[in-house]
Amino acid sequence: MTSVSSPASEAPVQPGTKPGLLIGVLVLSAFVMILNETILSIALRDLTVDLSVPTTTIQWLTSGFLLTMAVVIPITGFLLERFTPRQVFLFSLVSFSIGTLMCGVAPGFGLLMAGRVVQACGTAVMIPLLMTTVMRLVPAERRGATMGTISIVIAVAPAIGPTIGGAVLSSLNWRWMFFIVLPLSLAALVVGMLRLRIDSETRAVPLDVLSVLLSAIGFGGVLYGLSSAGEPAETALVPAWLPIVVGAVSLVVFGWRQLRLQKRDRALLDLRPFTHRNFVVALALYLQTVLHKSTFVSGLAVLPGGLVLGLLGRPVGALFDRVGARPLVLPGALAMTAALWLFSVLGPDSPLIAVIGIHIVLMAGLGLMMTPLMTESLAALPDHLYSHGSAILSTLQQVAGALGTAVFVSVATLSTAENAPSSPDAEGLHTAFVVSGCIGLVALVGAWFIRSGRPERTPEEVAH
C-alpha cells in the first residue's frame, strides 16, 4: 500500500485488466448482497417456529441487518481512502461469505443473528465501492449507462428477494436460502482475487474512534426509531421518538466534529460534497424518489412496476449520457407526482388492474429520475470526494427508505383512527397518498433546478 499526502486523483486499471469485467464482478456481488437483504423476510414465520423464539425477536434478523448497514456505510468513505479498492472488495466478500456460512449452519438464533450482522458489514461496503469505482474508471460520457446498471441492482434485487425466498421455502428449508447464495459469493470472491487489480493511491488517515461512535449512535438511532415507528406501543422496546432524538443529537455532534476534522483532511465522513450545489440538488431529489419507492415494498401486484423500474435503468442511463439530467428528471417527476395523486383517489372497490397500472406509471417516473440523479450528484464532485459522496448517498438512502415507510404508515394509522369506521383503511391510505402527492409536487418544483445539457468531460478525461 502506498501512502501519499494528497487524495487520489485517478485509479487506473492495471494493464491486461478490463474495466467492464471489474465493474461486472462488482455489480454481480452487489446484486447477490442486496438480494440477501430481503430474501429472508418471507421465512420469518418459519424461523419463529423452527428456532422457538417470539416474533418480536425474529424481526431483529431484518432490523439488525439494516441497523448494521446504517452504522457501517458512513465509514466507507474513510475505508475507500485508507485502503485500495481490491482490499475493500476482499473485506466485503470475505465478510459476506463468512456471515452467510454462519447463518446457514446456525443451530439457534444467536449465531444466526451474528451471521446477519457479519453479512451486513460486507454488504454495506459494496455499493459505495461500486459507485466510486464507476466514477473513477468510466469516462463521463458513458457513466450514465453504467450507473443505470447499478440502479437495476438497487431496484430489482430487493423486489425479487421475497419471491426467490418463497420458491426456496416451497421445497427446501430456510437454511438453503444461505447455502444457495454462498457459492455465488465465493465465486465472486475468487474472480475478484484473480482479476481485480486497480492501481490507486491511499492516505494513512487515522481512524477517529469518537466519530465512529457518534455515527453509530446517530444513524443507528434514527434508523431504528423510524423503523419501529409503526410498531404497537406494547411490543416496542422503547418509544420510537427516543432513539430518533438521541440519534439526531448525536448526528449534530457528528457533523460538527467532521467539519473540524476535515480542515486537516482527517474526517471519517467528509462533508465537503455538500458545498457543491449540483450534488445537493440532485441528492435531495434522489432521496425523495427513494422515499416514494419505499412505500411499496411487498405484494405481487407491485412486481410489474418493480421490473419496469429495473429495466429502465440502463436505457435511461444511456439517454442521460446524451442529453443530461434535466430532460429526464422533469417528466419523471411529473409521472411520479401524477401517479401518487391517482393513488389518492382509489377506493375499496377500485380494480386491481388500476393499482398495477398506476404503480407502473409511478415506477416509470422513478426510473427516469433515479439514474440521472445518482450520476449527476456524484459527477458534481472532484475525484477525491467520490468515496465520501458515495458514502453520503448510500447512508441517506437507507435513512430515506426508513423515513418514507415510517411517514406513510404513521400518516395512514393516524388518519384511520380519526375517520369513520366504515372504511378506515381506505381513508388512512387516501390521506397518506395525499401527503406523498404533496411531496411529489415539491420534487417537481425541485426538478427545475437540475442543470440541463449533456454531461461535461473533465480536463483529465479530455486528455485521455
Q: What is the pLDDT of residue 309?
A: 78
DSSP string, 134-190: HHHHS-GGGHHHHHHHHHHHHHHHHHHHHHHHHHHHTTS-TTHHHHHHHHHHHHHHH
Q: Which CATH number belongs to the domain containing residue 364 in this structure?
A: 1.20.1250.20
In a domain, 8, yes or no: no
Q: Which residue has the cell 461496503?
A: 125
Q: Which H or E run contains 371?
A: helix 352-379
Q: What is the pLDDT of residue 40?
A: 81
Domain stops at, among 267, 294, 315: 267
Instruction: Examine the domain organization and report whether 144 and 50 are in the same domain.
Output: yes
Instruction: Examine the domain organization and report whether 66 and 165 are in the same domain.
Output: yes
Instruction: Examine the domain organization and report whether 172 and 320 are in the same domain.
Output: no
Contact 427, 344 (CB under 8 A): no
Q: The dihedral of CA 393, 399, 404, 405: what is its sign?
A: positive
Q: What is the pLDDT of residue 139?
A: 84
pTM for the full predicted model: 0.76
In a domain, 4, yes or no: no
Q: What is the pLDDT of residue 58?
A: 82
In a domain, 308, yes or no: yes
Q: Can you give the residue range of the structural domain that contains 38? A: 17-195
Q: What is the pLDDT of residue 235?
A: 62
Domains identified in the chain, total number: 3
Q: Which H or E run contains 372?
A: helix 352-379
Instruction: Examine the domain organization and report whether 60 and 141 are in the same domain.
Output: yes
Instruction: Examine the domain organization and report whether 48 and 158 are in the same domain.
Output: yes
Instruction: Examine the domain organization and report whether 115 and 189 are in the same domain.
Output: yes
Instruction: Examine the domain organization and report whether 385 and 427 are in the same domain.
Output: yes
Instruction: Examine the domain organization and report whether 134 and 232 are in the same domain.
Output: no
In a domain, 6, yes or no: no
Residue 238 burial (CB count, 10 A)? 11
Domain stops at, among 143, 170, 195: 195
Instruction: Examine the domain organization and report whether 362 and 321 are in the same domain.
Output: yes
In whole angstroms, give the CA distance from residue 74 to residue 396.
9
Q: What is the pLDDT of residue 250?
A: 94
Q: What is the pLDDT of residue 16?
A: 45
* pLDDT tens track for 429-455: 677 778 778 888 888 888 888 876 555
Q: What is the pLDDT of residue 210?
A: 92
Domain stops at, among 165, 195, 225: 195
Instruction: Examine the domain organization and report whether 175 and 282 are in the same domain.
Output: no
Query: What SS3 state is found at 257?
Result: helix
Instruction: Examine the domain organization and report whether 290 and 394 are in the same domain.
Output: yes
Q: What is the pLDDT of residue 383?
A: 81
Instruction: Examine the domain organization and report whether 324 and 242 are in the same domain.
Output: no
Instruction: Report residues of the chain scoring pLDDT below 50.
Output: 1-13, 15-16, 297-300, 420-424, 457-464
From residue 145, alpha-carbon distances to 26, 69, 261, 318 in Å are 15, 27, 36, 4
Q: What is the pLDDT of residue 191?
A: 85
In a domain, 127, yes or no: yes
